[in-house]
Structure 1
Amino acid sequence: MFETVAGLPVHVLVVHAVVVFVPLLALLAVAYGVLPRWRDRLGWAVGVLAVVTPVVAWVATESGEAFENMLRDGGYPPEILSQVETHSGYGDLLFRATLGLAVAAVALLLVTSGRARARSLPSWLPVVLTVVVVALAVLAMAYVYLTGETGARAVWDGVA
């Protein structure tokens, strides 16, 4: 299911979406939390990214597993496969951080909505959720970097 499209590994195609969507979700969710005056403008984008980004990250993770199996079956050297395993581990953590960020972002959207304000939720709740969003955004960004760096090294070490 997640092996190739037009002869190219799906993983090679979809990782670029992850590299764009995760930082966008992180940046916009943090901005939504810390800049209340921008919430009306950012809410829809945060909501869309909170749904799409974990899906894209999951597809990248699953397609990466399929790609890793193709490499193993292709007889790649153990040192490259070791780098791929490290990359895969970071990718799994990236997916989890992205999913957590998306859930926290949606929760923040819900507690700052007009209906939630009408129910008079505790005033500290958006603040706590904003802190959680910021922490998860930093974590997701760190894993985007680590995942991308280890993946690039596995591909390009010794080539140039």
Structure 2
Amino acid sequence: MNEEINESIKGRYLSFFLGKEMYAAPIENIWEVNAMIEFTAVPQTPPFVKGVLNLRGKVIPVIDLCCKLNLAPTTFNRYTCIVVMQAHTRQIGVIIDSVDSVIEVAKDNIKSNHSFTEENEMKYISGMGNIEGKSLIILNIESILSDEELLIK
């Protein structure tokens, strides 16, 4: 299989935890990080859409990233936060278990998702990184937060 890396997935990332696993999102998709803030549940939305929040006068949807990725549900604690991410032209609040740091990932430390599975099976993952001996799952935020995926018109 081709282990060549797309030049666009190297760079700076916000690393965070979902359960015990470390994930990362490109820093250009990160708008801000907030402690858990109150949001309003909205009926008849997909299970991963937890509601909406009013952030300085702007109403944005909130999703539970664990639920979206079919992982064990987020257990809220003092480290749980909402990261406001932007994809396309939309901002969305993403609930994560805890923030780690902003990291630089070199091209040599990333394996494309093509190197371990079929592309359509891993559409939410851009690649796997290795930082100081730890595995890092690099997310494709554009795919996760797409209008079609969120059923938002």
Which protein has the larger Cα radius of gyration, Structure 1 or Structure 2?
1
The structure carrying a bigger strand percent of its residues is 2
State whether TM-score is above 0.5: no
Which of the two has greater helix per residue?
1
